[in-house]
Structure 1
Amino acid sequence: MRWRILGPVEVTAAGRVLGIHRPQQRAVLALLLLNANRVVSGEQLTEALWGDDPPASARTQIQVCVSQLRAALRTADLAGVLATRAGGYRLAVDDGDFDLAAFDTALAQARVAVDAGRLPAAAEIMRAGLALWRGPALAGAAGAFVDAAAVTLDEQYLVGHQLLASVESALGHHDEVVRALEPLVAAHPLREALVARYLLALAGSGQQARALQVYAETRARLVEELGVEPSAELAEAQLRVLRNEVTAPAGVGKGPSLTLPALEGALAGAPVPAQLPADVAGFTGREPELRELDALVSGDDGSTGTAVVISAIGGTAGVGKTALAVHWAHRVAHRFPDGQLYVNLRGFDIEDRGVTPGEALRGFLEALHVPAQRLPADLPQQAALYRTLLAGKRVLVLLDNAREPAQVRDLLPGSSTCLVVVTSRNRLTGLVAAEGARPLTLDLLSTSESRELLARRIGRKRVAAEPGAVDDIVQRCARLPLALAVVGARAAAEPGFPLAALAAELADAQAGRLAALDVGDPATDVRAVFSWSYRALDAPTGRLFRLLGLHPGPDLAGPAAASLVGLPLSRVRPLLAALTRAHLITEQLPGRYSQHDLLRSYAAELCDTVDDVPERRAARHRLLDHYLHVTQVADQLLDPYRLAHPVPITEPRPGALVDGPADHTRAMDWFTAEHPVLLASVEQAARYGFDGHAWRLAAASTTYLDRRGHWHELAAVQRTALDAAQQRADPLGQAQAHRGLAIAATWLGRHQDAHRHYQRDLDLYRELGDRTGEAHTHLGLCWVFARESRHRDALDQTSRALALYRAVGYQVGQAKALNNLGWLQARLGEHRLALDSCRQALLIHKETGDRHGAALTWDSLGYVHHELGQYDQATECYRRALDLHRTLGDRYDEAEVLVNLGETHRAAGHVEAALLAWRDALVVFDELGHPDADPLRVRIADLLRPAVPTGVVLSEPTRRV
């Protein structure tokens, strides 16, 4: 029995290929194999096969495909391996019969052999793994997911060849490496890691001149086609060829002294991620569990697993899973020098908005310094890049509050050098069974540990003075850390109050309205403690606690809390402080508050019981008004001379706080802190009928999400916005949502989708009679065409936009369109026209006072003069752009202009001036932690040493609109 996707998708039994021939059947089979032994839902299959535009018959087509697959499998008595499960399908596959699983195993075993210094064995294993490939992956399958998935799989094929080439070169088998890599380099001439190995193998086989020629050709193509210089790895390979340093280093084959180049490694010198939350103050007990966790790191337990699941007995919440995981992670952080990653997956969120694997992965990749422009478009590719980045690294990954294995699997590194800790109320037995995770079931605190926790919070003398009352409190709190912390906070706030009286109050609470719910579940006891603590609050504080249950995000700031209750911030701050002292909320960062999910759930239940529907709706309305108005203020600060005017919004309800940030820096900081809340608020607005808030909030968040590269989130939030606008039959809302979807699609490389959304945008603006909106859309289409290298089409769209802007007298749009026009004319060799267009743009920028737009236009003029060989004029233009960017504090734009200025100096033969400009740019890139720093280092190194002449080409910016 063989399941095969590393080439044409097929199944063989006893050497016979089963009759699975239709492209759609093969696609369904491929998707089930890529998710082997896991349930794939009908919705997942639909999205994988048709993307965002499934046919009405999608469900029927999938059922037909599955039926046909079963019929084919039945001919080999295998129909039972494809089972229907809970709204989806599960294909049972033995890893030994699946070519992809066998290849992954070979890759992992080869790496282990390399680490152990067994290079001949590593080479043999990798050759056997590569022999499993029969051609391009997923051949013969057709579906929306196929191209991206095939790219990811073929990437693994190249990774295998790179590993084999490194090993063979280290063994001195350079001729074999040259023969193996020559066709691959011809097929992938811009894959720098592959070319780097090819260079070294050529030089090792005595072909140094050919190696240098290959480097020169590769560099020229990189600059011409991608506008980038060679990577640090490729530049280092060239330097080794020049120095004749291509022999295996001393010690190769005797241990792990062979260092394989990083395939897509994080940038050298980039800060190591350290995302752990603050350690738990006064952490108590759990010594056996801490020893068991320590054994995982030391290897004393004999385990080879790389994941541990901390779950709660009987599903109990509040038992201290996160506290244990975070405390232990801090204890062992020094053992993971390559970083610590953390995400709260919010698996039990009351709004059912858990963090998706894609959201978590993108956050991790951002922390690992992957530029937004290089982030893969889909989840499998993102997961592959994540595993590649962590390969061989010592990283601790803490996945907090997971609901189910599917939320976690894509976040598991493939490297045995990493450790993953997962916390969940559920046991996640699927991870234990399939991924070899080590289960650690967390029980209640012992009585002595419970007493110690109280002693640390209210003082040992007080605990010793009333031992009986303490024992009663411990029993009433069911030895749950969360409940004990709440009681301890109340006792600490009333130092003169006898503990016996507190214990009596607890007893009354449990004997009261919750007694009927008592089924021996500790969670019932903790709710009784919450009830007791809540009843001790005064009315305003209690109301705030209840209404916090309506907030959709993971945390909130004081103004949002004030908007919920409709009170001034000065009156709400003392209420927040009271809730913090009562341990009913936590101030994890100054001015930002969060709740344990049990407390949040309890608050929401109270709100549903105590506060009537009009009060709850009014609170949500005030909260959404707060976020909408402040978001629009912050959005304007990010781009005060934007093309599009802010969408009209209504006056806020009384009690909603709408004071926004004061400047660009504070606006960016505000968005960074609030953006998960804003995404959740859009969903909540749509869910509760605030459709206008939903699409307007999404529109006002677009600039931030775009600039930070959160394009997947941008697409998701705009889909919600589009649904909301369609629900209200609101053409302006639909137009705004289509624009946001087009921006996301363009950055994600989905140009066909971008064209579709922009075309719908044009139709809507024409229905509205909004000629300015039409012009904006034409500029958006210009951008898509430019990214497709269709510069004539882009020029046509810009010209249409310019005509519309002139017709309505919109000067900001005219200036941006003219700058765009000039840059495109320069790209097409129409340099004199380009100069005229850019000069017209400058005059308008001066009239409107748009200094940022003027700086961009001076940069464009510098580009045009450079192309004309007028280096003195280009230098003057770049200096003017620099002065403006520095005045405005536009640090990245300043660095980009310095790079362009350096190119002009180099072209003019002023090497020292070029070095000075590039070093200044490098300082800025390093301060920003920007990925452009690494290729700039290569340019500087190139300028300082003899190199094969390749000509000078100015790097091209990715976007001018």
Structure 2
Amino acid sequence: MAGAPSTGFEFRVLGPLEVLHCGVCRQLGHSGMRSVLACLLFEPNQAVSMDRLIDTLWAETPPATARTIIHGHISKLRKLFTAAPVTEGEDVPAIITRAPGYLLTVSSDRIDAHRARALIDHARGLEPPERSRVLSEALALWRGPALADIASDRLRRTIAANLDELRLFALEERIAADLELGYHQHLVTELSGLVDEYPLRERLTGLLILAHHRSGQRAQAQARYHALRERLSDEFGIDPGPELRSLYERMLRDDETLLAHHRESVTTTSAGDGGAHQVPAELPPAVAGFVGRERELAALDRILADREQGTANLLTVLTGPAGVGKSALAVVWAHRIAHTFPDGRLHASLRGFDSERAPLSPGEVLAGFLKALGVAADAIPVDLDERAALYRSLLADRRVLVLLDDARDTDQVRPLLPGSPGSLVVVTSRRRLDGLVVRSGARMLPLETLPASAAVELLDRAGVPGRSASEPVAARRLADLCGGLPLALRIAAARLAAGPGRSVAELVCELTDERNRLHGLDIDDPDTSVRRAFDLSYRNLHPAHATMFRLLGVMPGHTFTPHTVAALCGTDPDTARHRLRALALAHLVTESEPDRFGMHDLLRLYARELLAACAGTQDVSDAHCAETALRRLLHHYLVVADHARRFLRPARDELDYSGDGTTVRPYITDRTEALEWFDAEWPNLVAAIRAAHAEGLHEYAWPLVRLQFNYLMVRCPWEDWITVYSTGMASAGKLDDPAGKVLMSAGLGVAYARSGNPAMALEHYTSSHEGAVAAGRPSWLAMTQVNMGSALFRLGRYGEARRHCEEALETYRELGDRYREAGALNNLAQVEQVSGEREAALAHLREAEAMYREADDLEVLAMVLNNCGEVSTELGRVAEAERYHHEALEVAQRCGSAMRQAAANLGLGDAAALREDRAVARTRWETALAIFRAGGSPRAEDARTRLNALPHGHRAGLPPGAEGCTAGSGHSA
């Protein structure tokens, strides 16, 4: 087993959260950043949604700036990973943006919790001396309570509690191994303390009873049993479980086998009731190389524990898409718990989705089960109901495990259910058998794909051991290309094993081409193929559902809603929702949250293959071809984005889809709902823009980019902003569209200006200006001059900035455009402020303020109010400055702009410092610093400078015009 890494990064969560690099502890920052990292560490190489991160940090009361704060935490974590010196060949962790949130790529061996789980899993089946040693090694990884320094209650209740439970399980297993080795006398003291600490853990009590008994302390052993029995009866009204009762009864009988050391187990039970009934043992062999599924195994263990307490139903259903490993998990777990079902284990493959044979009828299955239970063939009833009744009668007083694999529907399963609580039934199906939940109270356990660490481990175990260690980056990429689907991973491993001279990187290169990936995941065995597994689910679909499934292959984003699917397929949202839920029942799509669906990457490729194969045939009309569907989807996004952006800021361009009635818009009636729509759809909008450009649909690409501008101004996702505008600029260039080239260049300039790169901003503004000059449109020319003025101001070229602002102001006044005039006035005021003309600056700012109030542009209004506050502060009018900043803060909160809220807090801190109220100043500046840092804003340094000056009794000067020119206001024409 892999030990702690000696070089590179190591992450410790079994105690206070620590990040080490080459053995040296790295500074992590405050609690929020630590909580975000903890969330990512517990699901390494899996996307963790933004909603889950928000819920973990703030539960039911997240701040309006929650997403921005998390963006900032992610940015700082990325810097933490990239700032450390990298040795050759070092596997550096990275956080990548992956819908619906973020994904941490890291080897699980670098996380102590995952190493502990691996050691505990490895200990199963080992001889007692080695088992004790391995479990002791795992237990040594705990440095105290898990996540001891994390403030998030939710993390402590869920993840930390599970880790503490894992430690107790490992401790019990190690003690059991030591008991087998005959160390009972030494264990009495340790176990006594543990039982006092955990008085309701029956297994610990059982281990202590056995240790007392073997040490000749029979009275103490009985006393421990009675103390637990009385406590359980008084507090819960229940008796100890059957294993502990059996141990007590054996002890009363002076069962000599209890004194045997090696191979004795606390959970040994009697072989049954001494009757002559037959004990079937039909479980198939466990799958070789089974890995991962710790969470699912723990959930199944909890179901079994609940059943023992009489609080759970006798039926559990494992569901999931084809190839996800439902049968493998069911069989592995069944073998693990077989000893708790002394009266037998029944198994039947129901052939619900067999490609060659019809599904088994319930009558056929019952006939087989009755024979296995000792009923003669001629005594088996002919009638189905009579067979089921006899089956239930035989199991009435027995403890039997029944495994029903590959069920087709609820009707196939229901006659096979025992009628008494002693037995347990486990069903697997690629359909969601909701009828068993409704009518039989089944526990549903959906299976998802494997995380990257387990996927890489499966590649090793099923293929060539050690191959992933020699090519770690390629192995992770191969696991990603297989989408964590166990069937695909086993096929890839088989291909590597069949060609020992072939590198992992070569197979990765082959599978990277999406057109060949499914073909590359086929092998000679016709029944072992990812495509064939998908075929068996697809061919049972209703024709309308099959058509929708094929078209979903066109969807560029990772998630989709009934509205977007309705546009894609040319139907209405209600019909789309109904069909999507039918596909979800077949596990061809997943519904991650109400009305938000997703699809596995390999299923997406499969859908595209089906669509391409049907193209031009009579089965598929032109309305159902890929390009037509993509055009419908892009048009839908144009209409809805235009509708939503108008709630955020005024639309000041010539793009207008408000009168379009060809698509059904989602329900958006105010600013909050508009922001929620943009937040949820943002990864899909980015993907749609890329798809439009890649498919040559440039007439959709740049307008769709432009329609995101108002959202970008509020949320400021710098990396995505630059990416989509660069794509939009390329599409505008392909079309040679003057408006597109001017607006895309201007938008890039705004992104660079607001992220602290005025030189790059000026370069793009200049390009936009040249396009406006060539077009000969005065309004465009003035807009670009306002933008250039803002960049020149930032670069200290005040004379040039003044000239551009004054010329733009004159043009806008001639055109009668008061909104754009406000932007020119604001920028001119910045130049006047830095030149010492503060009264003139304040007068111009007040004019701009009135105009932005008319336009109801809250985001820019907040900026101008902050600018008014800054100038008032410099004029010594502290009370007036505070009024401006307080209103700016209120307006910024209403519009959701984190950066404007930070600027308002900065200004309020400045005013408090002038009043010599240092406590208020510190609080305001610390708030501003936190928001600026979270948003990756260069203005964080302004707040830090002020805070650093506080202990010396000084007030750091506020740079004139620090809140800003309207580098985006003019662009928001």
1:832 and 2:750 aligned: no
In structure 2, the CA distance between the partners of 1:812 and 1:759, relative to structure 1 (3 Å rule), is same
Task: Read off the aligned partner of 1:638 and give its amino acid letter.
Answer: L
Question: Which residue of the other structure, out of 571, 574, 578, is the alignment partner of 1:570?
Answer: 574
Q: Does 1:385 align with 2:385?
A: no
Shift of 1:867: 1.3
Deviation at 1:639, TM superposition (A): 2.3
Among candidates 647, 665, 672, match of residue 679 of structure 2: 672
Candidates 425, 449, 454, aligned match of 2:328: 449
Aligned partner of 2:849 in structure 1 is 842
Q: Greater shift after overlay, 767-776 or 881-890? A: 881-890
Deviation track 1:527-559 (CA, whole Å, cap 9, x = no partner) reads 233223222221221111111011111221221
Assess, with a 3 A threshold, how the Cα gap between structure 1 residues 609 and 495 changes in structure 2: closer, same or farther: farther
* Residue in structure 2 matching 1:619, options 615, 624, 629: 629
1:504-519 → structure 2 map (5 Å cutoff): 519=523
Deviation of the 1:861 alpha carbon = 2.0
Compute the displacement of 1:588 (Å): 1.9
Number of the residue aligned with 2:694: 687
Asked if the contact 1:638–1:664 (Cα under 8 Å) also holds between the matched residues in 2, the reply is yes
Q: Secondary structure at the match of 2:665?
A: coil
Instruction: Say whether 1:960 aligns with 2:965.
Output: yes
**What residue in structure 2 maps to residue 310 of structure 1?**
none
1:723 shift after superposition:
2.8
Confirm whether residue 908 of structure 1 aligns to residue 915 of structure 2.
Answer: yes
* Structure 1 contact 563–623 (Cα < 8 Å) conserved: yes
Please say if residues 910 and 921 of structure 2, whose CA atoms lie closer than 8 Å, have aligned partners that are also in contact.
yes
CA deviations on 1:848-902 (whole Å, 9 max, x unpaired) are 4545544433322221122122334333433444454566666653453233123
1:555 aligns with 2:559: yes
Aligned to 1:94: none
Question: Cα–Cα, structure 1 residues 556 and 275, in superposed 2: closer, same or farther, change >3 Å?
Answer: farther
Determine if contact 2:702/2:729 at 8 Å carries over to the other structure.
yes
Report deviation, 1:710.
3.2
Distance 1:887 1:468 in 2: 59
Match for residue 599 of structure 1 among 598, 603, 614: 603
Question: Which residue of the partner structure matches residue 722 of structure 1?
Answer: 729
Distance change (3 Å), C-alpha of 1:468 and 1:755: closer
User: Shift of residue 772 of structure 1?
Assistant: 2.1
With over 3 angstroms needed to count, the CA separation of the structure-2 counterparts of 1:522 and 1:809, relative to structure 1, is farther
Aligned-residue sequence identity (percent) comes to: 25
- Residue of structure 1 in register with 2:653 after alignment: 645
Aligned-pair CA distance for 1:756: 3.5
- CA shift in 2, pair 1:575/1:926, >3 Å: same
Alpha-carbon spacing, 1:418–1:661, altered in 2? closer, same or farther (3 Å) = farther
**Given the superposition, is the C-alpha separation of residues 389 and 818 from structure 1 closer, same or farther in structure 2, using an over 3 Å criterion?**
farther
Separation in 2, partners of 1:934, 1:476: 70
Q: 1:823 to 1:395 in 2, by over 3 A?
A: same
What is residue 820 of structure 1 aligned with on the other side?
827
Q: Secondary structure at the match of 2:647?
A: helix
Cα separation, 1, equivalents of 2:844 and 2:937: 32
List per-residue Cα deviations over 1:781-837 (Å, max 9, x = no partner): 122223323233323222222222212111111112212221331122111221221
Separation in 1, partners of 2:897, 2:324: 54
CA distance in structure 1 between the aligned counterparts of 2:854 and 2:67, rounded to whole angstroms: 44
CA contact (8 A) 1:344 1:400 kept: no
The verdict on how the C-alpha distance between 1:807 and 1:897 changes in structure 2, with shifts beyond 3 A counting, is same
Q: 1:467 aligns to what SS in structure 2? A: strand
Partner of 2:131: none
* Partners of 1:270 and 1:929 within 8 A in 2: no
| 2:449 aligned partner | none
Q: How does 1:708-787 map to 2 (within 5 A)?
A: 708-747=715-754, 751-787=758-794
Which runs of 5 or more structure 2 residues have no equivalent in the other structure?
1-5, 11-19, 50-65, 116-287, 292-322, 359-402, 418-426, 431-517, 615-619, 967-973
| 1:369 aligns with one of 62, 72, 76 | 72
| Contact map agreement 1:779 1:798 (CA 8 A) in 2 | yes
Deviation at 1:728, TM superposition (A): 2.4
Distance of aligned partners of 1:890 and 1:602 in 2 relative to their CA distance in 1, 3 Å threshold: closer
Task: State how far apart, in whole Å, the 2-side matches of 1:909 and 1:541 are.
Answer: 69
The structure 1 residue matched to 2:36, chosen from 251, 254, 273, is 273
Q: 5 Å matches for 1:274-313?
A: none
Q: Secondary structure of 1:622's partner?
A: helix
Q: Distance in 1 between matches of 2:413 and 2:108?
A: 52
Match of 2:810 in 1: 803
- CA separation of 1:455 and 1:938: change in aligned 2, threshold 3 A: farther
Deviation at 1:721, TM superposition (A): 2.1
TM-score by length of 2: 0.50
Greater radius of gyration (CA) = 2
Compared with structure 1, are the counterparts of its residues 273 and 488 closer, same or farther at alpha carbon in structure 2 (3 Å cutoff)? farther
* Structure-2 residue corresponding to 1:608: 612
Q: Given the alignment, which residue of 488, 491, 498 partners 2:409?
A: 491
Amino acid at match of 2:562: G
Inter-CA distance 878–388: structure 2 relative to 1 (3 Å threshold) = farther
* Counterpart for residue 142 of structure 1: none
Question: Of residues 590, 609, 614 in structure 2, which corresponds to 1:586?
Answer: 590
Output one character per residue of 1:709-763: Cα deviation in whole Å (capped at 9) or x when no partner.
4333333323332332233232212222222332344456665543333223223
Work out the CA distance in 1 between the residues paired with 2:325 and 2:728.
50
Question: Structure 2 matches for 1:296-335, cutoff 5 A?
Answer: 330=42
Q: Which amino acid aligns with 1:957?
A: A
Seen in structure 2, the aligned counterparts of structure 1 residues 724 and 783 have a Cα distance that, compared at 3 Å, is same
Bigger Cα displacement from structure 2, 783-792 vs 466-475? 466-475
For 1:702, the equivalent position in structure 2 comes to 709
Aligned length: 574
State the alpha-carbon separation in 2 of the partners of residues 398 and 920 from structure 1.
26
Q: How does 1:422-571 map to 2 (within 5 A)?
A: 449=328, 452=331, 467=348, 469=350, 473=354, 488=406, 490-492=408-410, 495=413, 519-521=523-525, 525-571=529-575
Instruction: Give the Cα–Cα distance (whole angstroms) in 1 for the partners of residues 682 and 641 of structure 2.
Output: 10
Amino acid at match of 1:467: A
Alpha-carbon contact 2:68-2:935 (below 8 Å) kept: no
Q: Aligned pair in 2 of structure 1 residues 584, 897: CA closer, same or farther (>3 Å)?
A: same
What whole-Å deviation, never above 9, does each CA across 1:561-589 have from its counterpart, x for those lacking one? 11111211112211111111111111123
- Whether the 8 Å contact between 1:341 and 1:396 is mirrored in structure 2 is no
8 Å contact kept, 1:454–1:488 = no
Q: Does 1:857 align with 2:864?
A: yes
Structure 1 residue corresponding to 2:644, chosen from 625, 631, 634: 634
Where in structure 1 are there 5+ consecutive unaligned residues? 1-107, 113-158, 164-255, 278-328, 334-339, 346-362, 376-380, 403-407, 422-439, 478-484, 504-513
CA drift of 1:606 comes to 1.4
Q: How many angstroms apart in 1 are the aligned matches of 2:528 and 2:655?
A: 48
Counterpart secondary structure, 1:273 = helix
- The DSSP-based 3-state class of the residue aligned with 1:638 is coil
Q: Supply the distance in 1 between the matched residues of 2:949 and 2:818 (Cα, whole angstroms).
A: 44
Counterpart Cα distance in 2 of 1:607 and 1:716: 30
- In structure 2, what is the Cα distance between the partners aligned to 1:891 and 1:276? 24
CA contact (8 A) 2:722 2:751 kept: yes
**1:529 and 1:653, CA in 2 relative to 1: closer, same or farther beyond 3 A?**
farther
Counterpart Cα distance in 2 of 1:571 and 1:797: 55
